[in-house]
Chain A
């Protein structure tokens, strides 16, 4: 699904990603851990193609196509979908209308879709105007439900969300990744076979792991990936030892540089 090779990205001339190699298979959910400022969000924004994130080396292959320099909307149309952590307000554009635009002409029952994330009361409101943290997340999810991406990029699904909303957000993310209707009685094997939507999720708290079937995970540290393991394992490790523990996994020539990186 996604293949990142030796990706280097600079922001305003400052190198942030320093050689990322990452592979996400169809149907696989990959979890990114790492301290603040390590480059996780930069990776997601670079994958989506935001301006200001300059790829200086390496390539991004998505569904067999080189999208390293493709415009954003082409990436989206190819099947990349992203949930924004701080989406902008767009005045005069109704949320329901945007959801419709996300479906790109595919027939969708917007109100029915909205009811699934308890958002039907918000469809007439301007996009993201005065939404709370939980509302922003539900709005993002609703748009993605209409967009139906093949690879879901999600930056901190749990940020700004209360516990009750977290369950809803978590279940919806799972649903997006599974691509199965509610109450579907397909067997586990059938599910795994059908599953073709992949996920790349950033988490600090790991709450999302309670809901999604995460297969692999890695820690990002100072623009490099290290410590590949099962996400649960990584989370337990970080909880116990903090990110310092990850330093051991990095090559010795990086050690000095990483030790200088601020830990938060």
Chain B
């Protein structure tokens, strides 16, 4: 892992006035935000939260049973959230957690009340606008018993704010029978340093589904979230799509602990390097039986770059079923020729296969976002794959 000097970033003073209407943001920011999952024109949302540098500039809820507020406000209102704050992660884990603990400058608290099933997503956005700005945020997500929530979270830097740092603590709590879908789209700058630190617990019968998309360059990103399935029958799924252009360094993994009988975990990742480095980790650990887990890391190397796949399975239980599948390689000639026999030229065939490989369609994204992702993928120079 590379070293990061946090003293190069300013973690305070990035204040901004409230933005009541997200459409009033500059047009250039709109485009950056769409790629980070935030459609400022989208009316089909349950709520929206936006943080710019160190200020929570926008917060709106449109649904009964949904609480959404700046984390600092929530800590004040709920006496420091003793049940949920710093329960899954410890501040002294590393420099980044320490910084987020000592110099908290944002994040959100979201809670969906028992039995409330929200069909429309909550949009959340962490936006870095100031040059040299450091965000050290803390998010707490609580899905109460039988409730359902979809968070569409985007993180982005403005066009001109490449040099920035984002440290993010996120704690997820999915109570009995609850369902949380967390879709995260990153849209950073070429020199942005990113250190998310996330952990979650899922109670009996709960479902945690995580979708992660990174299609744009990033300076240095390192994350390895951990989900613990503590209740019987709980399920966790991680689905990641990572593209690393020249200059990107991504060390990204997903960990699932199967701590109760009949739990299931799945980690699926698709990685494409067009010149960058990706360490692609995956870990499923089973401490209860019966339990099932499957890891799948697939990587394509196009035009240089490096992929290091590290799938790990760990258990001491009789009767668990854990498996993994890892592959790093190139586009199959057989698939290329199949498409070329239908009249697609080499470039068309390669990009069609790459688009299928990076299949973001299965994440069920809203249409404008899906379109934006398709456009991004189309821009990849897939012709180099051969």
Q: Once the chains bind, are A76 and B340 in contact (CB under 8 Å)? A: yes
Chain A binding site: helix, strand, loop or mixed by DSSP? mixed
Interface centre among B339, B343, B359, B361 (most CB of A within 10 A): B343
Min CB–CB distance A239 → chain B (angstroms): 33
Contact of A92 among B333, B339, B356 (CB under 8 A): B356
Interface contact B343-A51, CB-CB below 8 Å: no
Complex: A87 Cα to B335 Cα, angstroms: 8
Known contacts A84-B338, A90-B353, A92-B356: A102-B332 contact under CB 8 Å: no
**Does B361 lie within 8 Å of A92, measured CB to CB?**
yes
CB-CB under 8 A from A92, the residues of chain B are 355-359, 361
User: A90–B335 contact, CB under 8 A?
Assistant: yes
Residues 298-354 of B contacting A (Cβ, < 8 Å): 332-335, 337-346, 348-349, 352-353
| Chain A: CB-nearest residue to B358 | A92
Instruction: Say whether A72 contacts B353, CB under 8 Å.
Output: no
Q: Once the chains bind, are B359 and A72 in contact (CB under 8 Å)?
A: no
CB within 8 Å for A73 and B340 given contacts A92-B357, A93-B356, A101-B352: yes
B contact residues around A104 at 8 Å (CB): 343
* CB of A185 to closest CB in B, whole Å: 33
| Chain B residue with the shortest CB-CB distance to A102 | B342
The verdict on A147 contacting B342 (CB below 8 Å), with A50-B337, A51-B337, A88-B332 known, is yes
Instruction: Say yes or no: A88-B338 contact (C-beta < 8 A), given A93-B353, A93-B355, A101-B352.
Output: yes
Count chain A residues whose beta carbon lies closer than 8 angstroms to a beta carbon of B. Answer: 24
Complex CA–CA separation, A84 to B341 (angstroms): 10
B-side interface residues, number (CB < 8 Å): 24
Q: Indicate if the CB atoms of B340 and A71 lie closer than 8 Å.
A: yes
> CA separation between A38 and B86, bound complex, in Å?
72
Return the CB mask of B350-386 against A: 1 if under 8 Å, else 0.
0011011111010000000000000000000000000
Q: Is A189 an interface residue (CB 8 A)?
A: no
Flag if A76 contacts B341 (CB, 8 Å).
yes
Q: Within 8 Å of chain B (Cβ to Cβ): is A235?
A: no
A51 and B346 CA atoms in complex are apart in Å by 13
Please determine whether A90 and B338 come into contact, CB atoms closer than 8 angstroms.
yes
User: Taking CB as reference atom, which chain A residue is nearest B354?
Assistant: A92
Cβ B343 vs Cβ A77 within 8 A: yes
Q: How far is the CA of A98 from the CA of B335 in the complex (A)?
A: 12
- The answer to the question of A198 belonging to the interface, with a C-beta cut-off of 8 Å to chain B, is no
A17 CA to B232 CA, complexed, in Å: 63
Contact A147–B343 (Cβ < 8 Å)? yes
Task: For the complex, give the distance between the alpha carbons of A19 and B348 in Å.
Answer: 35
Q: Tell me, yes or no, whether A114 is within 8 Å of chain B by CB.
A: no
The residues of B that contact A88 with a CB separation of less than 8 Å are 332, 334-335, 338
Number of contacts between A and B (CB, 8 Å)? 65
Give A78's nearest chain B residue, CB to CB: B343
A234 at interface (Cβ–Cβ under 8 A)? no
A82 within 8 A of B: yes
Across-interface contacts of B349 in A (CB, < 8 A): 73
Q: Which of A73, A102, A126 interacts with B345 by CB under 8 Å?
A: A73
Q: Is the CB of A93 within 8 A of B333?
A: no
Q: Is A48 positioned at the interface, with any CB of B under 8 Å from its CB? A: yes
Docked-complex contact B342 and A143, CB < 8 angstroms: yes
Residues of B within 8 A of A91 (CB): 356-357, 359
Near B by CB (< 8 A), chain A positions 61-80 give: 71-73, 76-77
- Whole-angstrom distance between the alpha carbons of A19 and B273 in the complex? 46
Cβ contacts under 8 Å, B356 to chain A: 90-93, 126
Bound form: Cα–Cα A126–B357 in Å: 11
Beta-carbon contact of B333 and A51 below 8 Å: yes
Are A73 and B344 in contact (CB-based, < 8 A)? Answer: yes
* Shortest Cβ gap from A81 to chain B (Å): 8
Select the residue from A76, A92, A102, A147 with max chain B CB neighbours within 10 A. Answer: A92
B357: chain A residues within 8 A (beta carbon): 91-92
A93→B343 contact, CB < 8 A: no
Most A-side CB within 10 Å, residue of B339, B348, B358: B339
A1 → chain B, closest Cβ, in Å? Answer: 18
Q: CB-defined interface of A39-74 with B at 8 Å, one 1/0 digit per residue?
A: 000000000101100000000000000000001110
CB-defined contacts of B344 to chain A, threshold 8 Å: 73, 101
Chain A residue at minimal CB-CB distance from B343: A76
Q: Which residues of B contact A81 (CB under 8 A)?
A: 341
Are A73 and B359 in touch, CB under 8 angstroms? no
Chain A nearest CB from B241 CB (Å) reads 10
The minimal Cβ–Cβ distance linking A103 to chain B, given in whole angstroms, is: 9
**Could you tell me the distance between the alpha carbons of A90 and B344 in the complex, rounded to whole angstroms?**
15
Residues of B within 8 A of A77 (CB): 343
Cα(A93)–Cα(B357), bound, Å: 8
Q: Mark A156-175, 1 if CB is under 8 A from B, else 0.
A: 00000000000000000000
Roughly how many angstroms separate A49 CA and B359 CA in the complex, as a whole number? Answer: 29
Select one of A72, A93, A147 contacting B337, CB under 8 A: A72
Q: How far is the CA of A24 from the CA of B267 in the complex (A)?
A: 53
B297 to chain A, nearest CB (A): 14
Q: In the complex the two chains form, what is the Cα distance from A71 to B340 in whole Å?
A: 9
Which chain B residue has the least Cβ–Cβ distance from A80?
B341
> Can you report 13 residue pairs joining A to B where beta carbons are below 8 Å apart?
A50-B337, A51-B333, A71-B346, A81-B341, A87-B338, A88-B334, A90-B353, A91-B356, A92-B356, A93-B352, A101-B342, A101-B348, A102-B343
9 A-B pairs besides A73-B346, A91-B356 with CB distance below 8 A are A71-B340, A71-B346, A84-B338, A87-B338, A92-B355, A92-B356, A92-B357, A93-B356, A102-B343
- Nearest 10 CB-CB pairs, A to B? A92-B356, A92-B359, A93-B356, A76-B343, A72-B340, A73-B340, A88-B334, A73-B345, A102-B342, A77-B343
